[in-house]
Structure 1
Amino acid sequence: MGTGIALPPPEALGHHEFEMVIRKLANDLAHGADESIFVGSGLEYAQSRPYEPGDSIASMDWKVSARTGTPFVKEYDTLKRVPVQIVVDTSGSMVTSSGSLSKYAMATWIAAATGLVAQRRMSPTRLIGGGARQLPSQTSLSRGALQQAIEALRHPDAAEKTHIAEALDWVRATTLQRSVVFVLSDLHDPEAIDACRRLSQGHDVAVIELQDPAESGLTRGGFYRGSEAETGQHFLGSSKTAWGIDSEKGRRGDLAEGGIDHLLLKTDQDFISPVRRFLSDRGQG
């Protein structure tokens, strides 16, 4: 269960099995993680004070410590409830797969587990579809509202068109309070990168890019016929076909120009450990 790649497609499970797997994934994702790894899930900063024996290293104020030459720790008082919004690309290109777990299935598992962990950390959370469908969700601490959106998300539609850039612009236009926005997408929408950059001007944006091995020519030998999920254009491919996608970095460079955190995940590999590290690295920043 912890590896992620052994998971079945979400739509293959019954409702109760589906919920049980989400809870297990959320536990795995949060295991051993500091409470502050989710921006907006910890406490509101109040002041810094000198370090005392027994203080957590995670609470160290490194900037003040370096400036004064004396160890200082941060003190917090009230809960800050920064919204967490998870935008999931539900388009047809996410559904096509060369292996047992599609990009869509992996995105669904990650979105569901991340949303549950965020709510546990007292961050109002909602899921937003990046395709043609509308997910029944609002930014809330209500577990029922989140579950309703997750339930609607788990059934893929191979014919669905991409609207990920429009969804990101919609979040930017309708969200007044600064929030944490996770984007789960293969970034096939040519407007997606610019939309992420625009959104990052007022929000903390993190992109988890999903990649199928076939997209980077990493499949075993042989030929295959296919069609582009969103245009319907047919093609003949092989293990040597180059699709213009960097198999090692994805779109990291394009996103880094906008100060956006990026994680590239491949559908034939573990995702829990990389996502946990990704969140931890963000928390340390």
Structure 2
Amino acid sequence: MSFHSQLPDQEFLDSSRFLIAAKRLANDLAYGTMPSSFLGTGIDYVQSRPYQPGDPVRSIDWRVTARTGKPYVKEFESTKSLPCYLLVDTSASMTVSSLPRSKYGHAVLVATGLALASLDHVSPVGLLTVGSRDLRVRPSLSRDQVLTWAYELRKYRYDEKTSLSTKIKQLAPMLVSTSLVIVLSDLHDVDCVGAIRLLAQKHDVCVLQFHDTAELGVTKAGFLRAREAETGSTYFSKGKHVSQRQIDIEQSFKRSGIDFFVINTERPYEHDLIHFFSSRNILGRRMK
């Protein structure tokens, strides 16, 4: 039996307020990760060479010219932004929440902000959902396309199973060039860490893990009985096992050089998230 729903206004903001919040986050992410207050041109300095007749005067390298006594000009080359793929977890565990706004609500808002910020960096952005539904959007620079899938993501189901590791394995051979892949998930897929590490061998990968305060609380428990949201099956575990898996995830990503950030939905995280992207220049990375 399937249960379809939509993120309610009191949880997720109404349409107009959602767009305002997403744009504000996008502006903070875009300009917070810029080296200056001006957008880059995508042109990088390569070298200086001797002046040749016909070279424009504005390209003269005055420092080298003054040092050598002979006219030199600067050479530049164009660099392209990495295409960005957002992998948004739409599985049932993302919608379970002890707070007014679920992990899923936060993930959709962050994904929309990241997409709009990527467009400000002139980076084409696409989407792939990693639950049971199959929503795929090829990377483009279309702002309307981003807003279309953002509003589509407001609809969700309570019975979606996670498919993060499977979707990553399907996506990998489709990436014909180096890409930036941003995963937004609670990482409940037990096989996802290995799949993410394998993907990171050829592409830039960033993982944003969403935590609910109730999940953090069970790490201090003794034995616990729980029900898996995606399958409905009941299982028994120890709180320390939950805590140890989180430690293993963090260490595994660190060894693989994967950018990793945990979002606790109970606490304000926007400032730390902006600093995380800025310090690593994640959205500003270019093709090599």
TM-score (norm 2): 0.74
Give the letter for the 2:273 counterpart: V
Helix, strand or coil at the partner of 1:251? helix
Q: Deviation string for 1:195-251 (max 9, x for gaps)?
A: 101111111001111111111217999xx98632012134799xx955613698672
Helix, strand or coil at the partner of 2:27? helix
Give how far 1:79 is off: 4.6
Is 1:261 the counterpart of 2:270? The answer is no
Return the alpha-carbon distance in structure 2 between the equivalents of residues 33 and 246 of structure 1: 33
Give how far 1:43 is off: 2.7
Return the alpha-carbon distance in structure 1 between the equivalents of residues 104 and 30 of structure 2: 22
Give the letter for the 2:42 counterpart: L
Is 1:16 the counterpart of 2:8? The answer is no
Helix, strand or coil at the partner of 2:139? coil
Gaps of 5+ in 2: 1-8, 49-74
Is 1:154 the counterpart of 2:154? The answer is yes
Please say if residues 90 and 131 of structure 1, whose CA atoms lie closer than 8 Å, have aligned partners that are also in contact.
yes
Q: Deviation string for 1:36-90 (max 9, x for gaps)?
A: 8xxxx873533378xxxxxxxxxxxxxxxxxxxxxxxxx9653513201111111
Helix, strand or coil at the partner of 2:171? helix
- Evaluate the alpha carbon distance shift between residue 249 and residue 109 of structure 1 in structure 2; reply closer, same or farther with a 3 A threshold: farther
The 5-angstrom pairing of residues 127-142 of structure 1 reads 127-142=127-142
Which residue pairs with 2:163 in the alignment?
163
Is 1:81 the counterpart of 2:76? The answer is no
Give the letter for the 2:117 counterpart: V
Which residue pairs with 1:277 in the alignment?
275
Return the alpha-carbon distance in structure 1 between the equivalents of residues 276 and 257 of structure 2: 15
- Evaluate the alpha carbon distance shift between residue 180 and residue 42 of structure 1 in structure 2; reply closer, same or farther with a 3 A threshold: farther
Give how far 1:268 is off: 0.4
Give how far 1:98 is off: 1.3
Please say if residues 215 and 242 of structure 1, whose CA atoms lie closer than 8 Å, have aligned partners that are also in contact.
no
Give the total of aligned pairs. 245
Helix, strand or coil at the partner of 1:265? strand
- Evaluate the alpha carbon distance shift between residue 220 and residue 168 of structure 1 in structure 2; reply closer, same or farther with a 3 A threshold: closer
The 5-angstrom pairing of residues 44-55 of structure 1 reads 44-47=43-46
- Evaluate the alpha carbon distance shift between residue 201 and residue 234 of structure 1 in structure 2; reply closer, same or farther with a 3 A threshold: same
Please say if residues 42 and 121 of structure 1, whose CA atoms lie closer than 8 Å, have aligned partners that are also in contact.
no
Give how far 1:133 is off: 1.1
Larger-gyration structure (1/2)? 2
TM-score (norm 1): 0.75
Please say if residues 165 and 189 of structure 2, whose CA atoms lie closer than 8 Å, have aligned partners that are also in contact.
yes
Gaps of 5+ in 1: 1-6, 50-74
The 5-angstrom pairing of residues 28-177 of structure 1 reads 28-35=28-35, 43-47=42-46, 77-177=77-177
Identity of aligned residues (%): 32
Return the alpha-carbon distance in structure 1 between the equivalents of residues 250 and 27 of structure 2: 28
Which residue pairs with 1:68 in the alignment?
none
Return the alpha-carbon distance in structure 1 between the equivalents of residues 236 and 246 of structure 2: 24
Shifted more, 224-233 versus 170-179: the winner is 224-233
Return the alpha-carbon distance in structure 1 between the equivalents of residues 225 and 141 of structure 2: 45
- Evaluate the alpha carbon distance shift between residue 96 and residue 140 of structure 1 in structure 2; reply closer, same or farther with a 3 A threshold: same
Please say if residues 168 and 196 of structure 1, whose CA atoms lie closer than 8 Å, have aligned partners that are also in contact.
yes
Give the letter for the 1:83 counterpart: P
RMSD between aligned residues: 3.2
- Evaluate the alpha carbon distance shift between residue 9 and residue 77 of structure 1 in structure 2; reply closer, same or farther with a 3 A threshold: farther
Which residue pairs with 1:228 in the alignment?
228
Give how far 1:148 is off: 1.5
- Evaluate the alpha carbon distance shift between residue 42 and residue 250 of structure 1 in structure 2; reply closer, same or farther with a 3 A threshold: farther
